[in-house]
């Protein structure tokens, strides 16, 4: 997908304030047994087509509105992912502005997960 320079500038500004991990970092977190919420911020149709097993869906379009109801503990670790790591960085930045202190964006997102041939869930 070709992104506009304006969008890319917005993403880069958000990424400057957001902690990111790569796929290996996510797998290490999963293996550690540490509690965290894996949150898919993609659109409904993307979620329904497949998602990372164990993920919860809270789309980018409603995350600011619905996050506190879903994740009332603002200190809980939230790992957000989208298609490639742009929307998740924007969402992570917004959640941090709302007071969440342990938000992480998965760099590479869904593309990295599926590109590595990892399991895909299809339940809604």
Catalytic residue annotation = 82
Q: 103 forms bridges with which residues in the sheet? A: 78
- In the chain the first and final C-alpha atoms are separated, in Å, by 26
Phi and psi at 96, nearest 5°, equal -60, -40
Burial (CB count within 10 angstroms: exposed 0-12, middle 13-18, buried 19+), residue 50:
middle
Residue with tokens 């938000």: 103
Count other C-beta atoms under 10 Å from residue 105's C-beta.
28
């Amino acid at each position: 997908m070709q992104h506009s320079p304006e969008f890319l500038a917005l993403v880069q500004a958000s990424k400057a304030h957001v902690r990111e991990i790569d796929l290996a970092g996510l797998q290490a977190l999963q293996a550690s047994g540490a509690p965290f919420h894996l949150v898919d911020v993609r659109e409904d149709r993307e979620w329904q087509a497949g998602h990372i097993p164990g993920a919860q869906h809270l789309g980018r379009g409603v995350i600011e509105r619905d996050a506190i109801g879903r994740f009332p503990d603002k200190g809980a670790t939230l790992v957000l992912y989208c298609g490639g790591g742009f929307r998740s960085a924007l969402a992570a930045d917004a959640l941090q502005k709302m007071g969440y202190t342990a938000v992480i964006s998965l760099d590479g997102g869904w593309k990295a997960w599926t590109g590595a041939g990892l399991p895909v869930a299809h339940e809604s």
